[in-house]
Structure 1
Amino acid sequence: MVLGTGMAFLDGSIVTLALPAVDDDLQAGVAGLQWTVNAYTLALAALILVGGSLGDRYGRRRMFVIGVVWFGTASVLCAVAPTIEVLVAARGLQGVGGALLTPGSLAIISASIRPEDRGRAIGLWSGLAGVTTALGPLVGGTLVDAVGWRSVFWINVPLAVAVVWVTVRHVPESRGAQTRLDVEGAALTVGTLAFLTYGLVEQTWWPALFGVVLLVAFVVHQARSPHALVPLSLFADRVFTAANICTFAIYAALSGTMFLLVLQLQYVAGYTPLEAGLATLPLTVLMLLLSSRAGALGQRLGPRIPMTVGPLVSAAGLLLLLRVGADASFWVDVLPGATLLGLGITLLVAPLTTAVLAAAPDEQAGIASGINNAVSRTAGLLAVAAIPPLAGIAGADFASPDVFGPGFRTGTLMCVGLLVVAAACAAALVHGRSADPEQAPATP
């Protein structure tokens, strides 16, 4: 399960290192690069709740395998794409595969873990998922330097084959509560995110306004539907609402930072793709070494402290990364900020996930997990769409150091602000009680 979801999460970040090479080869422009990232995230964020519902109804292992095969096939289409338009369309298909395979993985793991071990298991799963995301720049930089940008998609094919083989042989089937699929809610979700993203990327007000109208329609529909994708009753719990607000702010900041940083290192600091990937290695190492311990610490202390301190530590790291400019030194300008960013993210990820699950009733743990996952993907989608144009990164000369450098600093400060909002929300609204492992959800 970790390998399968890791493949999807890795692809969400691995492509970032290849963006300059994609631009050179396909003449994508800044909007094309944003859509290369956002087409994937849009499909994943919009359909991940649908994927969870399909797994509950037709079998989680079955949908997981279908999703992996779909993802691998779409990766081939990405690898052979002759134009930026074809690449964007194939990335959207990749996102559909990710939405089918991702939700069932945690549910399958949770069904096999004793209640007293679930806090640590969730922490380990969350940490390893974060590690695969953080590994993207490193793996992507190596592949782009050595082989070319298309190799970042070919690598998914052997991974998909291995995941399917192991899953079919060793993973038991499981199902959840079977309810009618909310087709109308799914359509409104896709429309809302598509129009909002298009309006933000293209800096056009009317699609964004129509996206807001669809969002209102979605909320009204969810309030009235007996089979809602997002049961609004969950948000009556203060901690659940606060944790999802924190999730949105934190993942928007993280996605915006990773998008901007690896491009700043290449366009302004003159790093190669591999060097830019290696510059993010501290984040990967810290998440790999400390995520499980952070999950256990959060279970003992409760979620408030790590969810408050973690974003502030990460924000301090981003302030240090403002030093990254022309001819930036890794040891002086990159390493200190990347280390603090990694420590902060590692501290908060597992307690945040546990807080969301603990705040939901046992019978709604699966949908609560799906909502939180969708919130995190939506945050990344909107951040990558909104932050570059708001920071002044636009136009045909966007890659010029004179344009991208100031935009990087402005966008990074926006991400700092998001992290401070997350810390304040956690401090004010998340209680300090530790989660009771005996009450951990059975099927998140």
Structure 2
Amino acid sequence: MTVPTPARRWWTLAISSVAIFMVALDNLVVATALPSIRRDLGATISELEWTVNAYVFSFAVLLLTGAALGDRFGRRRMFSLGLAVFSLASAIAAIAPDATTLVAARAVQGVGAAIVMPLSLTLLADAFPPERRGLAFGIWGGVGGAAVAMGPIVAGTIIDRLSWPWIFWLNVPIGLAAVPLARLRLRESFGHDRSLDLPGIGLAGTGLLGVVWAIVRGNAAGWTSPEVIAPAAAGVVLLAAFVLWERRAAAPMMPMRFFRSRAFAAASGVTVALSFSLFGSLFFLVAQYLQTALGYSPLDAGLRTLPWTAAPMLVSPVAGVLSSRIGSRPLMVAGLLLQAAALARLGHAVAAHVAYTGLIGPLIASGVGISLVFPTIPETIFAAVAASDEGKASGVNGAVRELGGLLGVAVLTLAFSRAGGLGTPAAFARGLHSALLVGATAAALGAAVALLVPASRQRVRAPDSAAEPAA
């Protein structure tokens, strides 16, 4: 197998980072544009909900499948296809004449993103040697953080100056440039297991569909309603069947041996805790508190989150380099403890009706905290598996991350509604206080799980069972 040249490594980092920026930015700008979409298309509340959920469903459900397709048909080939699908769906969304067409386009966008997201990390891991991956993952995480930081700002600017279809048109020229560059500049690679685990794909996809449906619909339909309980129960049964099948499959899409690795299992737990606390808190602070409670416009709210969301651009690359030198465990523990303390402080601040200036300190602390964890998770995950299993490991970690984020939004919403509500400012503050404390607790539990990650000198890459096919 040929070793990538330095030039090809940096091309891989640039193309992977552009792809993750496009995918991460899109979901945030769509959430900000929902009021404009409702006015222009005459969309109902249910249709607006599905404008977000259709993307979430296809993205979360197909992450494992996207990684498996890359292992089978070629990671570069499928990554390029995912970019093309995402870009084409963006163009359809931009010209959508009604809400039904927009929802369908969003579902197809999710399919493209489910291929791009895990393969972007796998391509990086293939291009960079282990001792250089910390920096690569740090830059990749910083670019993803930049998308989070710029999402509300980009959306507010586009909606104010142009119109909501331009949030989708923005993806098209980026995709048109990225697809041929990916074909020309990325090195093709395959997983060791080239056969498709079709029973595994079916069981995982339908099982995740039931679980994701239940999580997304839980608060709206009621957690004890048949609409939630039935798909949740079916999803759990199907995922249990998936695990049993994977234990005996000749070429499993999610080898159960991954979870016998303490590093892999602990890093997966850290992923859940980080996504749970981050996305749940981000949903409430940006979409609810700054706009609904404090009355800021989408653009002004986005600008006021910069002390929080801009930190990954600055801190993640540094954390990636440090992780390669001192190991990921101390950075994970410190980052999650900082996130827990910051969210707890924010919860008390909103309950005490502190002015925005009183939020800046904990927002910065939270941003630094998540920036310490972002690049250390993929480095730990990939160090725990054989090189030929990196595609599968990336898919598993992506699915775990999305489920953690969905669960965080659902649970924090439940905590908010139980403790307060939208009726009065006082009720809103009580609800947000409770929600943020739940997020802080999740981050603190994640720090405890991070203590289980082996020290740097103990992490030894699993041996390859066979040589990986070369491009």
> TM-score by structure 1 length?
0.88
Paired residues of 1:6 and 1:128 also in contact (CA < 8 A): yes
> CA offset at residue 163 of structure 1?
1.2
Matched residue of 1:176: which SS? coil
> CA offset at residue 84 of structure 1?
4.5
Match of 1:109 in 2: 124
> CA offset at residue 270 of structure 1?
0.3
Residue 185 of structure 2 is aligned to residue 170 of structure 1? yes
Q: For 1:375-395, what per-residue CA distance to the aligned partner results, in whole angstroms no more than 9, with x for missing partners? A: 11221233334432453289x
Q: For 1:11-43, what per-residue CA distance to the aligned partner results, in whole angstroms no more than 9, with x for missing partners? A: 2333232244445554543x6555433332322
Q: For 1:331-384, what per-residue CA distance to the aligned partner results, in whole angstroms no more than 9, with x for missing partners? A: 223x22220111001111112221111122333233222211221122123333
1:261 is matched by which residue type in structure 2? L
Match of 2:356 in 1: 330
> CA offset at residue 221 of structure 1?
2.0
Structure-to-structure mapping, 1:395-414, within 5 angstroms: 404-414=428-438
Q: How many residues align?
A: 438
Match of 2:251 in 1: 227
Paired residues of 2:90 and 2:105 also in contact (CA < 8 A): yes
> CA offset at residue 82 of structure 1?
4.8
Match of 1:388 in 2: 413
2:169 is matched by which residue type in structure 1? W
Q: For 1:231-267, what per-residue CA distance to the aligned partner results, in whole angstroms no more than 9, with x for missing partners? A: 1111011221111011011112111111111122111
Report the CA distance shift for 1:265/1:19 in structure 2 as closer, same or farther (over 3 A).
Answer: farther
Residue 309 of structure 2 is aligned to residue 294 of structure 1? no
2:453 is matched by which residue type in structure 1? V
1:245 is matched by which residue type in structure 2? G
How far apart, CA to CA, are the structure 1 residues paired with 2:102 and 2:410?
17
Matched residue of 1:391: which SS? helix
> CA offset at residue 311 of structure 1?
0.9
Matched residue of 1:392: which SS? helix
Paired residues of 1:50 and 1:181 also in contact (CA < 8 A): no
Paired residues of 2:63 and 2:395 also in contact (CA < 8 A): yes
Paired residues of 2:133 and 2:379 also in contact (CA < 8 A): no
How far apart, CA to CA, are the structure 1 residues paired with 2:445 and 2:286?
24
Report the CA distance shift for 1:405/1:382 in structure 2 as closer, same or farther (over 3 A).
Answer: same
Matched residue of 2:295: which SS? coil
Report the CA distance shift for 1:407/1:160 in structure 2 as closer, same or farther (over 3 A).
Answer: farther
Report the CA distance shift for 1:407/1:208 in structure 2 as closer, same or farther (over 3 A).
Answer: farther
Paired residues of 1:267 and 1:401 also in contact (CA < 8 A): no
**Which of 334, 340, 346 is 2:365 aligned to?**
340
Matched residue of 2:310: which SS? helix
Q: Which runs of 5+ in 2 are unaligned?
A: 1-15
Match of 2:88 in 1: 73
Residue 323 of structure 2 is aligned to residue 260 of structure 1? no
Matched residue of 2:187: which SS? coil
Q: Which runs of 5+ in 1 are unaligned?
A: none
Q: For 1:176-210, what per-residue CA distance to the aligned partner results, in whole angstroms no more than 9, with x for missing partners? A: 32422122222222322322233331323222222
Q: Which moved more, 1:406-415 or 1:324-333?
A: 324-333
1:414 is matched by which residue type in structure 2? V
How far apart, CA to CA, are the structure 2 residues paired with 1:327 and 1:391?
16
2:187 is matched by which residue type in structure 1? P
> CA offset at residue 131 of structure 1?
2.6
Residue 406 of structure 2 is aligned to residue 418 of structure 1? no
> CA offset at residue 404 of structure 1?
5.0
Structure-to-structure mapping, 1:142-153, within 5 angstroms: 142-153=157-168
**Which of 212, 218, 222 is 2:236 aligned to?**
212
**Which of 132, 136, 161 is 2:147 aligned to?**
132
How far apart, CA to CA, are the structure 2 residues paired with 1:218 and 1:50?
13
How far apart, CA to CA, are the structure 1 residues paired with 2:198 and 2:299?
43
How far apart, CA to CA, are the structure 2 residues paired with 1:384 and 1:83?
28
Q: Which moved more, 1:204-213 or 1:96-105?
A: 204-213
How far apart, CA to CA, are the structure 1 residues paired with 2:319 and 2:231?
41
How far apart, CA to CA, are the structure 2 residues paired with 1:421 and 1:207?
28
Matched residue of 2:164: which SS? coil
Structure-to-structure mapping, 1:274-289, within 5 angstroms: 274-289=299-314
**Which of 384, 390, 394 is 1:359 aligned to?**
384
Report the CA distance shift for 1:86/1:354 in structure 2 as closer, same or farther (over 3 A).
Answer: same
Matched residue of 2:441: which SS? helix
Instruction: Report sequence identity in percent.
Output: 37
Match of 1:189 in 2: 204
**Which of 263, 274, 279 is 1:250 aligned to?**
274
Q: For 1:271-301, what per-residue CA distance to the aligned partner results, in whole angstroms no more than 9, with x for missing partners? A: 1000111112123432111211111112222
